Amino acid sequence: MVFTDNKKSTMNKRINFEDTVFILNVRLRMVKDSLLLDTDSAYFYSQTMADLEFTGSVLDMLTEKFVANLNFLDRETEGDNILDIEWNLSQILNEISNNSGPFPPSKFPEMPALITKFRNDSARRQSLIEESYVTAGQSAAEPVVSTAELNGLLGSE
């Protein structure tokens, strides 16, 4: 399952976090709901894994934009929204990897490796966001111009 995406052109565009978060939540809710239905899992396995991979790739882009921009107006809320999606994703990954889930490893032997990859990618993104909170807090606490520099610029001593 390889997605060809044009990250360079996408990364240069402005990402609407609110709408993107909404769509990802809807997509994850659809995946979660589909896990509850009694369907032939062979029909839905590939699409479910593709949906999870797509969600991860969009979360990669959101995380990269979030970490790169310390000046979001509502930065903490956006970070929390991304972390909420990551939590929802982890819940779905737990349901899928559960032995009583719709995709048993005996029928889908590659599934455990995919789930592990998705979990590792999610943990990496969460760590980046949490580290970014610390970085943003430190930069907000440090003055841009020190008192001595300000006095020097204003000509007062």
* pLDDT tens, residue by residue, 19-72: 999 999 999 999 999 998 888 888 999 999 999 999 999 999 999 999 988 777
24 Cβ contact list (under 8 Å, min separation 6): 55, 58, 59, 85
Spatial CB neighbours of 35, under 8 Å, sequence gap ≥ 6: 48, 92, 95, 96, 101, 102
What mean pLDDT do residues 7-25 have?
71
| pLDDT band with cut points at 50, 70 and 90 for residue 143 | low
Q: Which two tokens stand for residue 115?
A: 């789930």
- The pLDDT, as a whole number, for residue 5 is 43
* Location of structure tokens 């939540």: 25
**Location of structure tokens 């044009």:** 6
**Domain segments of the chain: what residues?**
16-154
pLDDT of residue 149: 66
Tokens describing residue 101: 């889930």
- Say how far apart CA 61 and CA 15 lie, in whole Å: 9
User: pLDDT digits over 66-109, tens only?
Assistant: 998 877 778 888 899 999 999 999 999 999 998 778 898 889 99
In the numeric block, which tokens belong to residue 118? 């998705």
Pick from 8-12, 15-19, 103-107: least confident: 8-12
